[in-house]
């Protein structure tokens, strides 16, 4: 997951020291663990840079040395959508609530239950059970966010579903 945007630092010491009011951020998160439809993402990289592009960017340099800004920016992001995101106190881990997305699925898709959620190689795989065809999900979320692949009930797929 990639979070990008700009952040206001008005009123902070760094705003006066660096003579800027906004910084841009780029946060890359990787999935590390799933607990009860809550996917935990850990920071893979966190970059800050000047809102107005300059050749020698002091914000980028200071952000590598002083990392107090991470928690402040992550708290601001999480406050915007608390029904989906939550920030844990452990090493700035962000938790995404998958149940929120299930509640947004239109009724015409039928009842969908999550059987297993597996974070693997930068992706989050949701194994779901549905009594209907899942095409309405693809139509609702779009092909850039969801990929539907049927699973045959052979030994390999069953082992994948039941592994820890």
Question: Three-state SS for 1?
Answer: coil
**How many other CB atoms are there within 10 angstroms of residue 92's CB atom?**
19
Give the C-alpha separation, 51 to 22, whole Å.
6
Question: Three-state SS for 73?
Answer: helix
Residue with structure tokens 């009724």?
Answer: 107
Question: Three-state SS for 58?
Answer: helix
> Residue 160 is encoded by which pair of tokens?
């994948």
Residue with structure tokens 């960017």?
Answer: 57
> 43 phi and psi, to 5 degrees?
-70, 125
Q: How far is CA 34 from CA 2, 103, 105, in A?
A: 18, 19, 21
pLDDT digits (tens, 9 = 90+) for 124-139: 677 777 666 566 667 7
| Per-residue confidence in pLDDT tens, the chain, 164 aa | 788 887 777 777 776 777 777 788 888 888 887 777 788 888 888 888 877 777 777 777 777 777 767 788 888 888 888 888 888 877 778 888 888 877 776 665 566 677 677 766 666 677 777 666 566 667 777 777 666 666 666 556 555 555 54
Q: How far is CA 120 from CA 32, 34, 100, in A?
A: 8, 11, 21
Which residues sit opposite 118 in a β-bridge? 125
């Amino acid at each position: 997951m990639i979070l990008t945007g700009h952040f206001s630092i008005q009123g902070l010491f760094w705003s006066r020291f660096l003579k800027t009011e906004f910084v841009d951020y780029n946060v890359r998160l990787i999935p590390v663990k799933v607990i009860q439809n809550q996917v935990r993402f850990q920071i893979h990289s966190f970059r800050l840079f000047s809102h107005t592009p300059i050749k020698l960017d002091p914000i980028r340099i200071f952000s590598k040395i002083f990392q107090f800004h991470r928690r402040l920016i992550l708290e601001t992001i999480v406050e915007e959508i608390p029904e989906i995101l939550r920030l844990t106190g452990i090493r700035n881990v962000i938790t995404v609530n998958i149940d929120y997305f299930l509640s947004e699925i239109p009724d015409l898709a039928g009842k969908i239950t999550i059987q297993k959620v597996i974070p693997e190689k930068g992706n989050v795989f949701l194994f779901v059970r549905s009594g209907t065809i899942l095409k309405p999900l693809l139509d609702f979320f779009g092909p850039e966010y969801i990929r539907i692949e049927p699973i045959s009930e052979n030994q390999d797929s069953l082992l994948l579903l039941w592994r820890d």
